[in-house]
Amino acid sequence: MLSFKKFLTIFKGLGFSEKELHDFYQSVSKTVILRIAGKRLWPEIFRIEEQHQWPILCELDAPELPIYRGADKALLGRFIGTIRDEKELRLRKPHMDKVRYWTRLRIVIDERIELFTDIFGFSEADINHCEIVAARYSKIVDDRIVRKKKLWKIGLGTGAATLAGAAAWYLYIKDKK
């Protein structure tokens, strides 16, 4: 994978702070991992994209930028296309059905994540590492869901027992009168 130091030299002179670029750089690996981990993590991918990627990406839709010198034309065209598609989609958001908007946004971001693996030079070892981390993360999320369900069942059981006790008390008081 492209090192952060090399990444910084590519973006030098474009007006982004080092913190913004660092957050963007880190978010790329994270979105690749979350995408591998599964569908239920898309809300987190949307949040990361909104916070760390979109502020930079919306400035990068011009193919004449110096960062694109020597880039593969087909890859560049697809990448800039995803940025333009997302800009257009965001403009139409108020006039779109929520489900349709989020589905279309997911398609655009999904394609961009795939392009990130090519652009950032993810090797087979990098992808394997992402798969291992994604499996661990999925297990953690699954375990949390199981624990929440258990607590929810306990809470419902406790609530039902309390209601049954209150009902028995009410019937007892009613019969006493």
In a domain, residue 129? The reply is no
Same domain, 158 and 72: no
Query: What DSSP assignment string belongs to 22-58?
Result: HHHHHHHHHHHHHHHH-GGGHHHHHHHIIIIIHHHHT
Phi, psi of 122 (to 5 degrees): -65, 125
* Position 40 pLDDT exceeds 70: yes
In a domain, residue 133? The reply is no
Same domain, 17 and 75: yes
Same domain, 116 and 155: no
105/143: higher pLDDT: 105
Same domain, 104 and 174: no
How many independent structural domains does the chain possess?
2
Quote the pTM value: 0.79
Read off the tokens for 8: 């910084």
Q: What gap in Å lies between CA 6 and CA 130, rounded to an integer?
A: 21
pLDDT digits 0-9 by tens, 42-84: 999 999 999 999 999 999 988 898 888 888 899 999 999 999 9
91/151: higher pLDDT: 91
